[in-house]
Structure formats: structure tokens, C-alpha cells
Amino acid sequence: MADLRGSRDEDRDRGQLLLVAALAIATAIVALVLLLNTSIYMENLATRDTDTGASEAVAFRNTVEGNLWRVVEAENDRTYASRSTLETNVTRRTNRFVELTAARHRRSGVVAELSNTTLDEGTRLVQNDSTRQLTDASGTPDWELATDADGVREFEVNVTGGLTTSSAPVAQSDAFGVIVEGSGADVWSLFVYNNGGEQIAVKNGSESTPTNVCSGGFYAEDPRVNLTAGTVNGTRCSAIDFAKGTDPPYDVSYQYGNRSTGTYRLTANTSSVGNVNGPGPTTPPYEMPVVYSVSTDVVYRSPELTYRANVTITEGSS
């Protein structure tokens, strides 16, 4: 008689095919799930922000470049008598400025700071007595105002009278003049003299004789010449192009300062100045220490970005 119940061993062997197939399909499903996981991760990565904060870094730099000079200039205008006091206060205000600017970035875990900050020394020379001759503190008519200046700015001379009469254009060399000697002994000069009325003559570095400039109706009154801006009494005079044809560093001097009276003011990128009073506001002419420019590294560091740029901040950069 056939064994209808079957043995126990036979029972165990039954359904092997289904079992193997089920396992294979289960493996495939697991593989699909893993792929799905990878796919979801990639979708997540794809939709993540790729912004590394580059615009924030540039914004920080622009804020520093655009505003730091005002902070420094405010201290320059406070007429210090001591350079170290000036520099201490400039440094303190700069740090405060950066602290305020960086606060917004620090909240998002970013280091925004200035490092390697150096202050470039400058000196402001002032004569504010319009009846005084343009001589040095002891009355010497030919004298050097500033030596080895890498730059000069805000140079304005307001000649108020006492000009030597001279016939144009040969004898300007006898008149009051501003002499700027560049590095290669090239000389740029500007003369103010009286030839039946005030005259201005300019000699560029490449020229040998001065030429009368900007005569027609430029100055009904005493000429106020801004040498660095190229204006006379506020009117543009393009022939006055400060230190044209010469290269820095400049030696700036006056000749025949006793042949004119007037006021002047200039800021030179040097601490080496001629025989003047001061430092600090006192009897003219006097000198005042100023910060000519600030050189600093703008640093912006986030987990994704390290940005460092060296910037020089000076008048006109804001």
C-alpha cells in the first residue's frame, strides 16, 4: 500500500523551489530599496543650497572698503598732536567698526575680521593765516614742505596777495612756486605771479619751460588753486595735473614763499616734513599727524569658504 502520509523527511524537502525564488525576489527588493535610498539622498543633495556664502564674503569686504575710511577720517579730523594717540584711537575705532560689521556674520557661525592691519603714516600741513607769507616757521622763503611722499592729496593753496610782478612767460622762476620733484629728478612746478592780474603757470615733468594756464576768467578774485583736484576757485582747470610727468616719491617745496601771502593745506604720505610748528594745531604753519591709508586683510571664514583679500583703504575708496 502506498504511503499516503509520506515520511517526515519528504515533508522537509517540499516547497524548496518557492523558498529559493522568494529569497531571490526578497533580495532584489532589498536592492531596490537601497537604490531608492541612494536616489533619495541624491535628490536631497541636488536640492541643497550650493551657495557657499560667496556673496556674504564680498558684502563684508565691500562694507569694510566702503565705510572704514570714514571712521579713520573722523579721527584724522580731530587734530591730534601725537601720532601714537592718533593711531591708538584709529585702531580702537577700527576694531569697534569691524566688531559691529561682523556681528551679523558671527551669528551664522562665520569668522569675519580684519587682520594684519597697518596704518600708513601721513602728515597734514596747514597754514590758516591769510596775511602770513608762505615761508617756513623761521621765515625761510625756499623750503621743503614734505620729503619722500608716496602720495599727496588735498593740496590747496589760496594765494591772497603780495604777488611778485613778473613778465610772462620767462620770469616765472622769480615768482612764488610749488616745486614737486619726483624720483628721477623730474620736476613738476606751478607758479602764481602777477602780470597785470594774477597768472598761473604750470611746468610738467617732461617740459623745460612753464606755460600759462587757465587765464580767461578763471579767477576774478585771489586764485584758490587746488593742485591735486586741478581746480582754480572751484572751476576745473585740466591743465593743472598734479605731478604730471614725475613719479613718486615726491619732494614738495616752495620757492619764494616770501613773495606771496596766503593759506594752504596739504596731506602728504610721509612723516618727514620741513621746518613747521607743531605737531598739533598751533601757530601756522603747523603739521598734524594723520593716517594716510589703511592696509588690511579682509578675512571671511565659514565652514564652506575661506576668503582673504588685501585691501588698501584711503581717501576716495569709500
Footprint on this chain of other proteins (rule: CB under 8 A): 17-18, 21, 24-25, 28, 31-32, 34-35, 38-39, 41-42, 45-46, 50-52, 54, 57-58, 61, 297, 303-310
Shortest distance, position 57 Cβ to other proteins, whole Å: 7
Nearer to other proteins, 3 or 221 (CB): 3
Give CA–CA dist 221/226, Å, rounded. 15
Shortest distance, position 26 Cβ to other proteins, whole Å: 10
Eight-state DSSP code of residue 95? H
Q: Is the dihedral of CA 132, 138, 143, 145 positive or negative?
A: negative
Nearer to other proteins, 63 or 231 (CB): 63
Distance of CA 269 to CAs 124, 184, 225, Å?
9, 18, 20
Shortest distance, position 24 Cβ to other proteins, whole Å: 5
Give CA–CA dist 264/126, Å, rounded. 6
Shortest distance, position 62 Cβ to other proteins, whole Å: 9
Nearer to other proteins, 92 or 308 (CB): 308
Nearer to other proteins, 37 or 165 (CB): 37
Q: Cβ neighbours of residue 169 under 8 Å, at least 6 residues apart?
A: 201, 209, 210, 211, 212
Residue 254, phi then psi, degrees to nearest 5: -110, 145
Question: What nine digits make up the cell of 162?
Answer: 603780495
Shortest distance, position 29 Cβ to other proteins, whole Å: 8
Nearer to other proteins, 32 or 74 (CB): 32
